[in-house]
Structure 1
């Protein structure tokens, strides 16, 4: 499995994995606990210009979108997807305007908003790009409940469920074995 720092992943895949992983669920550490921290994170990725900020509404929407996106990526491992998470993404996407950008050989969605809404538009444009490129179903969240790290499934048959077989996969299988009534 590949994480956001793995070489060779498309830029939009890295951006989305990185965004979801701004919250380390296992350690309960949020890399973007404030609108200023999220603005800094966004500037480092070229999504926000110097001087632009997140309004309180855009910051709240970004955190809601991050967690809804986590649920969608978890559903890529076969877990059920609560419909409320899709409604959240629909609502936030409606507030994050996009436009078309043309080049000689392609057409891309690009953000049309300002501040935090521009960042969210960029994230939604990245989602569409990964879907069009066929990478979207391979973007997942670790099914180990305590972990929930976003990763890119590099398995041939797209069946990966854990960010790391050596850590989360083995831990989960060992827990199942210990809970099994047939163990000796």
Structure 2
């Protein structure tokens, strides 16, 4: 079971991956314009009220495309990794030390959402959980999801919706 920090990281990355209008929100691009982007990003950055910078929207779109490539084509895609490294160079981080020997890497400069997402990617990759982020096998859906199965064999973001459709279609083609 993921910790609260893992759940936040996973949910933030899934929101970014699915912000292009896939899955249950088909056709709704959360990064269509600056107003939609601000409404989308505020809950993901813990509602600090901070407005997005002028160049934040194109950078966020670039990050979304990069993350989608890494999920779809494997985490070793050299072009996507180069793009991720380029985005990372535009961020500043610092360690925040708290009581009980806790230290947290925090975004300090640049777009907050991008900084948090980069930290989330690094965390999941370091812990070997990045490959649990997947894209739904239903070609009409393409929603990103986090595979929680032990064998890492989940194929659909929602078995009740996409899995059922695939199974019914396969059954009908076999019996037709």
Q: Is TM more than 0.5 here?
A: yes
The gaps in structure 2 that reach 5 residues or longer are none
Match of 1:18 in 2: 15
Distance in 2, Cα, partners of 1:135 & 1:50? 31
Distance in 2, Cα, partners of 1:37 & 1:68? 20
Q: Higher relative contact order by CA 8 Å / sep ≥ 6: 1 or 2?
A: 1
Deviation at 1:137, TM superposition (A): 2.4
Trace 1:75-154 onto structure 2 (pairs within 5 A): 75=73, 83-104=78-99, 105-114=101-110, 117-154=111-148
Task: Return the TM-score normalized by structure 1.
Answer: 0.74
- Aligned residues of 2:45 and 2:112 also touching (Cα < 8 A): no
* Secondary structure of 1:54 counterpart: coil
Between 39-48 and 102-111, the greater mean CA deviation after superposition: 39-48
- How many residues are paired up? 170
Match of 1:61 in 2: 59
Select the structure that is richer in helix.
Answer: 2
Distance verdict in 2 for CA 1:51–1:111, change over 3 Å? closer
- Aligned residues of 1:39 and 1:48 also touching (Cα < 8 A): no
* Secondary structure of 1:151 counterpart: strand
* Secondary structure of 1:30 counterpart: coil
